[in-house]
C-alpha cells in the first residue's frame, strides 16, 4: 500500500482518546496488517486503554522503539474524512501523529522478509492526548525499553526536538461570605478576591511582547473560571484553573515558592496542584539525532536544526529513564485545529530518511 493510502485509512478511524472502542478497532486493524510479516505482536489493555506492541525479535527491549499514539483530539465529523489539496493532506491526526503510524506500517511492508535482520519494535498507544499514563508511562515502567526511541511527536519542520517545557496545572479556590448584593459591606466577595489573586499571579510571568522570539520562558493561561449565581448576590465561592508551562525544573521550584508566598497573603484562597509534568531536555550527546540529521542532509540536502517544544509528549517517559528520544517531523501543522495537515511530498522524503535511520540503528550484527 502507498504511504498516503495507509494514512488515509488511519484517519477514518475516529480514534478520539475518550472512544477506546475506536482506538482498539484501529489497533486491531494494524495488528491484522502485521500477519503478513515475521513479527511478534501483543495487544495490551491497561485501565481500558489499548496499546499495541510489534517487534521484529521476541523481546521487550529492542535496540530501537518506534513510538506513536493513535488517539487524537476531538473534531467535527468532516475532519475524519481525509481531503487532499495539491500536496497537502488534511484530516484529524495527519500531523499528530498518524503519519508516523503510516511510516511504521510502510516500513514493515518494505523490509518484509528482511525484518528478522533488524532489532526494532513499534509501540502504539491510545492515551497520549490525556497524558500517556496508561500507555507509554505504564509500558516503560513494565520494562519495555530500548537504547533509543524514535517518537516524532515534537520538533517542527525537520528541526529535532532538544527539550520540552513542563506543565503545571493549578486549581485556585476562593471562598467568601454570601450576602445580598445590595449590602456589600456584609459579605466577602469570592470572585473579587480571586480576580485580585489572579492579577498578582499574572505579574509573575513575562508579559508579551517579551522580545524572546522562541518564547523560552514560563507562561500562564487562565483557562477556566467559575463562580457566582446571580448579580444581586455576593458569591461565596469562585474557582479558576490555570495551565502553566515552564522551561526548567529549577524555574518550577522558584515559581511554586512565589505562588505559595502569594497564597499566604490571600487567606481566603487555596491553590492546589492538579497535575504536574516535568520539563525535559534531551541533553544527551545527541548522537542518534546527529545520525538522522546526516541522513537527511546527504539524501535531500535538508538542514535539520534543534527545536525546543512548548508542548509535551510521551518522549519524556523515555528521557526520564535515560533513553534518548529522537523527535522530528516533516512539514505539517494545524494540530488540534480543524485544518490539520501534512505535506505528502515532504512525508515521502521523511519516510525515506526515517527508513535509512531505522536500518542503520537496528541492524543486527
Residues near Zn ion (CB under 5 A): 210, 215
> CB-wise, 215 or 239, nearer to Zn ion?
215
Q: Given the DSSP bridges, would you call strands 160-164 and 280-281 parallel, antiparallel or unpaired?
A: antiparallel
> CB-wise, 81 or 210, nearer to Zn ion?
210
Looking up cell 482518546, which residue turns up?
17
> CB-wise, 215 or 294, nearer to Zn ion?
215
> CB-wise, 219 or 360, nearer to Zn ion?
219
> Angle 340-342-347 (CA atoms, 0-180°, nearest 5)?
160
Q: How far is the CB of 153 from Zn ion (least distance, A)?
A: 23
Looking up cell 497524558, which residue turns up?
131
Q: How far is the CB of 207 from Zn ion (least distance, A)?
A: 9
Q: How far is the CB of 255 from Zn ion (least distance, A)?
A: 16
DSSP 151-163: --SS-STTPEEEE
Q: How far is the CB of 213 from Zn ion (least distance, A)?
A: 8
Q: How far is the CB of 328 from Zn ion (least distance, A)?
A: 24
Q: Residue 274: which residues within 8 A CB-CB, separation 6 or more?
A: 169, 170, 171, 241
Q: Where are the alpha helices (DSSP H) in 49-183?
A: 99-111, 138-141
> CB-wise, 215 or 355, nearer to Zn ion?
215
The tally of CA atoms less than 13 A away on the side-chain side of residue 101 is 33
Instruction: For 126-200, list the strands marked E by DSSP.
Output: 148-150, 160-164, 166-175
Amino acid at each position: 500500500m502507498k504511504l498516503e493510502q495507509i494514512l488515509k485509512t488511519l484517519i477514518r478511524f475516529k480514534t478520539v482518546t475518550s472512544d477506546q472502542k475506536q482506538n482498539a478497532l484501529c489497533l486491531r486493524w494494524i495488528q491484522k496488517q502485521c500477519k503478513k510479516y515475521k513479527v511478534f505482536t501483543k495487544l495490551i489493555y491497561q485501565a481500558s486503554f489499548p496499546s499495541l506492541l510489534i517487534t521484529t525479535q521476541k523481546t521487550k527491549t529492542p535496540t530501537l522503539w518506534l513510538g506513536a499514539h493513535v488517539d487524537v483530539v476531538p473534531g467535527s465529523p468532516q475532519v475524519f474524512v481525509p481531503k487532499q489539496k495539491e500536496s497537502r493532506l488534511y484530516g484529524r491526526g495527519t500531523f499528530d501523529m498518524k503519519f508516523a503510524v503510516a511510516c511504521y506500517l510502510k516500513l514493515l511492508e518494505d523490509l518484509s522478509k528482511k525484518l528478522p535482520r533488524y532489532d526494532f519494535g513499534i509501540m502504539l498507544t491510545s492515551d497520549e492526548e490525556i497524558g500517556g499514563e496508561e500507555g507509554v508511562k505504564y509500558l516503560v515502567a513494565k520494562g519495555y525499553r530500548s537504547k533509543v526511541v524514535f517518537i516524532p511527536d515534537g520538533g517542527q519542520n525537520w528541526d529535532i526536538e532538544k527539550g520540552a517545557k513542563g506543565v503545571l496545572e493549578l486549581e485556585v479556590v476562593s471562598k467568601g461570605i454570601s450576602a445580598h448584593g445590595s449590602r456589600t459591606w456584609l459579605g466577602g466577595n469570592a470572585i473579587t478576591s480571586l480576580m485580585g489573586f489572579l492579577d498578582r499571579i499574572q505579574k509573575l510571568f513575562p508579559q508579551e511582547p517579551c522580545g524572546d522570539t522562541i518564547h523560552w520562558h514560563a507562561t500562564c493561561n487562565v483557562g477556566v473560571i467559575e463562580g457566582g449565581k446571580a448579580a444581586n448576590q455576593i458569591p461565596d465561592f469562585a474557582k479558576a484553573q490555570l495551565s502553566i508551562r515552564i522551561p526548567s525544573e529549577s524555574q518550577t521550584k522558584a515559581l511554586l515558592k512565589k505562588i505559595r508566598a502569594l497564597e499566604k497573603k490571600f487567606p481566603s484562597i487555596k491553590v492546589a496542584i492538579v497535575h504536574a509534568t516535568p520539563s525535559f531536555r534531551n541533553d544527551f550527546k545527541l548522537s542518534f539525532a546527529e545520525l538522522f540529521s546526516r541522513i537527511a542532509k546527504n539524501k535531500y540536502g535538508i538542514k535539520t536544526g534543534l527545536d525546543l517544544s512548548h508542548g509535551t509528549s510521551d518522549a519524556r517517559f523515555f528521557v526520564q529513564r535515560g533513553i534518548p528520544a529522537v523527535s522530528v517531523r516533516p512539514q505539517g501543522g494545524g494540530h488540534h485545529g480543524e485544518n490539520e495537515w501534512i505535506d505528502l511530498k515532504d512525508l515521502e522524503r521523511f519516510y525515506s530518511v526515517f527508513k535509512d535511520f531505522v536500518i542503520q540503528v537496528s541492524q543486527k550484527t
